[in-house]
Amino acid sequence: MYDPGGEDRGTASPVWERAALRRLHDVGNRCFLGGGMEFEGCLGAILEAAIFFTSADKGTLQLLDPSVGCLVIRAQRGFGQPFLDFFSYVHIESDATCGVAFGNARRVIVEDVTGSGLFAGKPAGAVLLNEGVRAVQSTPLTRRDGHVVGVVSTHFTHPTRLGHRELRFLDVLARQAADLVEREQA
């Protein structure tokens, strides 16, 4: 696992930053300020923004289902059925990146699945590699009271190190997503 602190990957040019700010603004307008988008559509828009911010190839947005104590995929982009079947319900104490991020209320980054102890010899690692995933990051969706309500994960087809700017935009997005979930649950 990698604790972010490295240099930016070069995606954070002024043009990229303007596009990222537009994405945050659009999510806010469409999901909070009467833009008319329904909850599931907002989850999809949030996931698409996360994929954009991290320059990822795929992604999932999972919410906690307290009745079963599992994270449930509510939005996904780019995955095949074997991946979706395996990760459709992830126990919040699992050793998948999303479970670890949820349980610790902290982002988890695996720069290279093939070299990660988190996945060594475990079925989740094989499922990721069969899906072509070589790196993954999972960011918890944490309400203002500190309660984690879900996780947004982005997946990469090559080993990846994320930069500070990408992660800062992802953090703002995760805050928006947690607010949206809290509002929906209220």
Q: What is the pLDDT of residue 55?
A: 95
Does the pLDDT value for residue 79 go beyond 90? yes
Does the pLDDT value for residue 44 go beyond 90? yes
Q: What domains, with CATH codes, occur in the chain?
A: 14-185 (3.30.450.40)
Alpha carbons within 13 angstroms on the beta-carbon side of residue 93 total 3
Residue among 49, 154, 168, 141 nearest 111 (CA): 154
Does the pLDDT value for residue 131 go beyond 80? yes
Which residues have C-beta within 8 Å of that of residue 115, sequence separation ≥ 6?
Answer: none
